[in-house]
């Protein structure tokens, strides 16, 4: 019986029955934790970017006094010294 080129891609149940080493479990846990931390950090960074005042937000305000107040707050925020 001829063999197909795709036979080497099929998985067998023998692969699932092999015992796993404790190191593999630790590695998987480490990868999962690092992915979770990365997702949380990206969420916090996106939230920070969205909430910060910007020139576009201030320019969109129609009331002149609100716009000037927004620009003042933005200027004060940008002039703060960086956190150490």
**Residues 37-82 pLDDT 10s:** 999 999 999 988 887 768 888 888 899 999 999 999 889 988 888 7
Flag whether the pTM goes above 0.75.
no
Give the confidence band of 32 by pLDDT, cuts at 50, 70, 90.
very high
Domain boundaries, the chain: 23-52, 53-84
CA distance 52 to 45: 11
- Helix %, strand %, coil % of the chain (to 5): 70, 0, 30
**Residues 8-30 pLDDT 10s:** 666 555 555 566 787 888 889 99
Q: What distances in angstroms separate CA 5 from CA 1, 8, 10, 20, 23, one per listed residue? A: 13, 7, 10, 29, 34
């Amino acid at each position: 019986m001829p063999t197909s080129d795709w036979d080497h891609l099929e998985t067998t149940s023998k692969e699932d029955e092999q015992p796993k080493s404790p190191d593999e479990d630790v590695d998987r846990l480490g990868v999962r934790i690092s992915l979770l931390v990365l997702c949380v950090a990206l969420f916090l960074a996106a939230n920070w970017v969205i909430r910060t005042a910007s020139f576009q937000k201030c320019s969109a305000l129609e009331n002149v006094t609100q716009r000037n107040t927004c620009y003042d707050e933005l200027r004060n925020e940008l002039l703060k010294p960086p956190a150490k």
